[in-house]
Structure 1
Amino acid sequence: MTPRANWKGFLRLSLVTCPVALYPATSESEKISFNQLNRQTGHRIKYLKVDADTGDEVPNEDIVKGYKIDTDTFVEVTKEELENVALESTRTIEIDEFVDRSEIDRRYLIRPYYLRPDGKVGHDAFAVIRETIREMDKVAIGRLVLTNREHIIALEPLDKGLMGTLLRYPYEVRDPKEYFDEIQDVKVTKDMLDLARHIVDQKSGSFEPDKFEDQYETALVDLINQKRAGKPITPKSKPAATNVVDLMEALRRSVGKEAAPAKAGKSAKKGRKASAGQKEMLMPIEGKKPKEAAAKPAARSQRKSA
């Protein structure tokens, strides 16, 4: 089942227009999340919206947005006033320009979306826009209003659809000089580079997302299953911090360390392939009767966020 669209409107290239829908390209709903509980009762914690001065609970209909001027002064802005800030990008992604993909600084990338025709009409116009971008080997830059903010969006072909990546504005990207100026200028010798390159060569491979396992998620699953089964929890020992005194010696030892697994073949280097969506998640407790086990919700009920 296709998830609900985050945005619906029109994609326009000059006079060519088609209705489109925007969908999130990623999801974190499969990850385990926790509720906050009262330790004494085991009940969930409920948060109330209260007046900061009186302490009285405030109903949703009486809550408005406000921009802070100083400590005790706010400018109130109503929902209607925000809606009246009419921007064409509220309903239309207008393609303003085309740029080379290599020109987009990766720091400006926020998150990916899928863009497809909305409904049964406009597929021809959508295909023209998509194939024009593909043929020119460019990225189309446009704007759209999402979550009450106007965003820059970069569009590029992906299979039969388009992938749109939200981009940051320049004022949102921090100057690296603030962080890098104090890094010391160190001369790296050729011998050090040669050893480091050797380590890189031994670790080189192809990017295959399917072979990566979310080890922290797996550890959470094990923890929860152990607690459900009433088993004791044994804390794992933390790795001791090491102080590298002789960098060349550390590099030489690293080369030897990486060479040993390489002889055992590629299979020894690969981690366990994670199941799609971590479906192995929370299993019924061993020894439970079928009906009792079925009554215990599996992963999804355990993963509802607070």
Structure 2
Amino acid sequence: MRKVSYSSYQTTLKGGHTRSRIIILMIFVFAAFSVIFVRLFQLQIMRHDLYISIAEDQHFGAIDLPARRGDIYVKDTHSGELSKLATNTTLDLLYVDPMVAENKQEIATKLTPIVFPQSEYEQCMEKPEECFYAVEKKNTIETLIVSDTVWDVDSGATKKVESAREEELDFKSYSAMSQEISEDILRKITKSEVDFVVLRRDSEDDLMADIINERLPGIFVDTDRFMIYGDPTLIPESQLHIISKTLATYLDEPPSTIETRLTRRQVRYVFLRNKLSPEASQAIEDLNLKGIVLLPEHWRFYPEGELGSHLVGFINRENTGQYGTEGYFNI
């Protein structure tokens, strides 16, 4: 019988444990590299087209420049004078690129009095339905600082005295509305990711019902506005492809197109206001703040108001002629 010393046995045992640990470590490393390889294969090969499309969207942009519509005149048969009933005007659209914007609090503070001046507030009080910003008609009691001119007996001259006075208002005061608008602008431009993507407007009831029944995460239906939209931040990445394929069967769009639109991405465009007056556009340019962009847009303008409107027609939000001459010569 062969005798083995205790020390030799211990050495053999330790060597076995070492080899086992090395094998386990190698298996772990192999598994980790396998996971990385599979993930890279998925990103580089299987989803190559999707990420190429996303990359191109981040580096290239396209802006539709529709042809300007012609002017419409009416001729006075007695004097032969021409009166312009419809023409075009160019007004700017204002948006902010949060990735470029630096001091966002400063942007919100300085833009507010330009996009919502005191004069517009007064117009909103008269015609709330035509106001760009939502105006709720309700009685509110606010403390206003009132400046009065009084006679100072000691100096023998007039002087201004400011005092606080509580007044009941039909609408919120200009300062209160301005504060809300400033906070809303700041909230919008501080978003880091896109959280609202319109998938379909003017949706039919049956279509909205089908989407609701699918119970897709991150996909919502607004029955009041007949709109189907998504929030990319609430869509699990692992389910994005399946959700896109499901939506494609209802929306009649390629799954890849829907998937691109619903992919999580940084906010690069925050719309704030359109139809800015030339004075407002100039004031915004003078601010010289990074991230603020003015985009010229063509709008239809009717100098004579409703004169001849039954013959002229009008232009809808999609810049499409409706009825009358506008509809007949629509491109």
- Structure with the larger helix share: 2
Could you state the TM-score of these two structures normalised by the residue count of structure 1? Answer: 0.17
Could you state the TM-score of these two structures normalised by the residue count of structure 2? Answer: 0.16
Q: Which has the larger radius of gyration?
A: 2
Higher relative contact order, chain-length normalized (CA < 8 Å, sep 6+) = 2
